[in-house]
Structure 1
C-alpha cells in the first residue's frame, strides 16, 4: 500500500508552506491573540486572497477543486503556524462548503458556494446544546415547527465558534418528536445570523480566543423552505458520511501543531545554553524531542491511511475515530512537553508553546470527546454499546 503524496499534492504543500511562512508567521499569530475579543478579519482576507476558501469546492462554483488529501495538507500547514486559528478557514469550509456541497440542492449550491469561494460568506456550526456536549441527539431541544412556507425555530445552542461574525449558521433541530429512534426526525437549517429572533452572545474561553465562540438563542425564527438542507427529518443520515472527513481534518490540524511544536523545540535547544553547554545535549530533552517526532510520525501515517480509505470509498469510521484520539492526545502532550523544554519561556505569551497547548486541548473534547470516540472503537470491535 503506497501512501506517498502525488506530485500535485507535494507541489501544493510546498506552496502553502511558503505562503504560511511569508503571510501568517507565528509571531503574527501571537499578535492576533493580543485582543481576544477581536475577530481576525485580516486573516480571513488573507485566506480569501490565497484562494483557500475554494479548496474542496467544485470549479463550476468558482472553487479550486481538490480532494481530501488537498484539504488535509492545507489544514496541517496552516495549523503549524496558526494553531487553532486555522479554524477560521476550517469552520466555513465544513459548515458551508462541505455541507452545502454534499446535501445542498442545485439552487443552494449555485447561490452559496460561489459566495464562500470568494470569501464573501462566513459560516458557523450550531449543533451543541447547553448540558448536551457530545450527546447531541439526547440533549437536542432546539425545535423546528412547520410554518407558512417554512419553519419556526426555537431553542438554544452553545460553543458556536465565530457565530458573532458569521453570515449563516448550520443548525441542527428536531422537527418531529413522534419518532421511535432519537436520530430520526431531525433536520438541518441554514439560518442567516441577522434573522429576527436570533441572539448571539460571545463566550470567554481558554484557547482559540480571537476566533470567538458563542451562545445562540432562537426565538420564533422563521426559516423558509429553501434554507432547509436535504430532506427534513433525515439530517442524521446526511451527517454520518461527513463525520469521518471531520475527524480526519481535525487530526490534520493536530498534526500541524505537532509540526510547530517540534520545529520550535528543536530551534530552542540548539541555541539555549545552561550549565555551560547547549541544552540540546541533555539526554532528557533529547528524549522529549524524540517522543514528539515519534508521535508525529504515527499520526501522519494513520492520517494518510484514513484519507486513503475515505477517498477509495472504504468504511473508515473506526480508523478515523482512532486517528482523532491519537492525534489530539499526542498534539496536546507534545505541546505540554514543549512548554517543559522551553521552561519559563514556554509559559510565556512571547512564545507559541502555550498557544499550541491551549488550542490543542480543545481537540481532545470536540467535535467528539475522546472518551466517546473510544466507545465508537470498542463498538466497532463487536463490544456492546456502552451509552
Structure 2
C-alpha cells in the first residue's frame, strides 16, 4: 500500500498551502474567527475564485473532479490555519455537492451542481433536532405531509451550520407517521431557506464562531416534489454516504488542526527562553511535541484510509467513525498541550492554540458524539447493540 500522496494531489496540496499563506495566514484567520455573528462572505468568495467549491464535483457538471482524497487534502491544508472556518467550504461540499451528486436526479444535478461548483449556491444540513441530538431517528418530530404538488413541513432543527446564509437546507423529515422501522419513512428535502415559514436563529457558542450555528423553525413550509432528493421514505440509507463523507472531511479538518498546533508549538519552543535557555531544551515539553507528532501520523493514516475506501466505493462506515473519534480527540488534546506549552500566552486571544482548542472541542460532540461512534464501532465487531 502506498502511503504517499500521488503527484497530482501533492501539487494540489502545495497550491492550497500557498493560497492559505497568501490570503488567510493564522493572524488573519484569528481575526476573522472573532467576528462571531458576521458570516465570512469574503472567505467564501475567495474560495469560489480559487475553485475550491468545484473540488469533488464531476467535470460534466462544471466541477474540477477529484476524489474524496482530494477533498481531504483541501480540508487539511485549509484547517492548518482556518481551523473551524474550514467548514465555510465543507458544509456545502458534503451537504450539497456530495448529496446531490449521489442521490439527485439528472435534472437536479444539472440544476444544482454547476452553481455549487461556481460558488453561487450555499447549502446547509438540517438534520439534528433539539430533543434528540445524536438520536436522529428515535427523536425526530419534524414531519413532512403530502399535499397537492409537494409536501408541507413542520418542525424544528438545531445545530444547522450556516443555515442563516444558506440558499438551501438539506433537511431530513419524517414522511411516514407509522413506519415499521425507525430507519424507514424518512425523506430528504432541498428546502429553499427563503421559503415562507422558514426562520433561523444563530446560537452563541464557545468555538466555530464566525461560521454560525442555528436553530431552524419550520411552520407549514411548502416544498415542491422536484425538491425531494432521492426516493421518499428511503432517506436514512441514502444519507449514509453523505454522513460518512462528512466524518472523513471532518477528520481531515482535525488533522489540519494538529498540523497548525504542532508548528506553532515548535516555533515557540525554539524562540522562548526561560531559566537561561530555550524552552525547547526542556524534556517535558519535548515529550509533548513527540506525543503530538505521533497523534498527527495516526490521524493522517486513519483519515487517508477512510477516504481511500470511500473513493473506491467500498463500505467505510466503521472506518469513518474511527477516523472521526481518533482525529477529533487527538486534535483537542494537541490544542490543549499547545496552550500548556505557550503558558499564559496560550490563554490569550492573540495566540492560536485557544482557537484550535475551542473549535476542536465541538468535534468530540458533533456531527456524532465520540461515545456513539464507539458504540457503532463495537457493534461492528459483533457485539450487541448498546443503545
Cα distance in 2 between the residues matched to 1:382 and 1:371: 17
- Aligned to 1:108, what secondary structure does the other structure show? helix
Cα distance in 2 between the residues matched to 1:73 and 1:272: 32
Cα distance in 2 between the residues matched to 1:101 and 1:172: 17
Within 5 Å, which residues of 2 pair with 1:204-223?
Answer: 204-223=204-223
Structure 1 residues 30-71: Cα deviation after superposition (integer angstroms, max 9, x where no partner): 111232111110100110010000000011221111101100
In structure 2, the residue matched to 1:357 is 357
Cα distance in 1 between the residues matched to 2:91 and 2:241: 17
Within 5 Å, which residues of 2 pair with 1:72-151?
Answer: 72-151=72-151
In structure 1, the residue matched to 2:372 is 372
Give the TM-score, by structure 1 length. 0.99
Pair 1:236-2:248 in alignment: no
Cα distance, 1:314 vs structure 2: 2.5
Cα distance, 1:3 vs structure 2: 2.5
* TM-align CA RMSD: 0.9
In structure 1, the residue matched to 2:46 is 46
Cα distance in 2 between the residues matched to 1:160 and 1:168: 12
- Does the 8 Å contact 1:162/1:211 carry over to 2? yes
Cα distance, 1:307 vs structure 2: 2.0
Moved more, 241-250 or 376-385: 241-250
In structure 2, the residue matched to 1:161 is 161
- Does the 8 Å contact 1:3/1:305 carry over to 2? no
In structure 2, the residue matched to 1:273 is 273
Cα distance in 2 between the residues matched to 1:108 and 1:35: 35
Cα distance, 1:177 vs structure 2: 1.5
Cα distance in 1 between the residues matched to 2:311 and 2:198: 38
5+ residue gaps in structure 2?
none
- Aligned to 2:339, what secondary structure does the other structure show? helix
Runs of 4+ that moved beyond 3 A: none
In structure 1, the residue matched to 2:201 is 201
Moved more, 239-248 or 359-368: 239-248
Cα distance, 1:93 vs structure 2: 0.6
Structure 1 residues 339-368: Cα deviation after superposition (integer angstroms, max 9, x where no partner): 000011111110110000000011101111
Moved more, 234-243 or 285-294: 234-243
- Does the 8 Å contact 2:80/2:256 carry over to 1? yes
Cα distance, 1:185 vs structure 2: 0.4
Cα distance in 1 between the residues matched to 2:309 and 2:219: 42
Cα distance, 1:240 vs structure 2: 1.6
- Aligned to 1:132, what secondary structure does the other structure show? coil
Pair 1:308-2:296 in alignment: no
Cα distance in 1 between the residues matched to 2:343 and 2:268: 11
Pair 1:31-2:31 in alignment: yes
Structure 1 residues 234-253: Cα deviation after superposition (integer angstroms, max 9, x where no partner): 00111123332222111000
Cα distance, 1:194 vs structure 2: 0.5
- Aligned to 1:179, what secondary structure does the other structure show? coil
Cα distance, 1:305 vs structure 2: 1.9
- Aligned to 1:327, what secondary structure does the other structure show? helix
- Does the 8 Å contact 1:3/1:308 carry over to 2? no
In structure 1, the residue matched to 2:9 is 9
- Does the 8 Å contact 2:95/2:242 carry over to 1? no
Within 5 Å, which residues of 2 pair with 1:322-337?
Answer: 322-337=322-337
Cα distance, 1:308 vs structure 2: 2.2
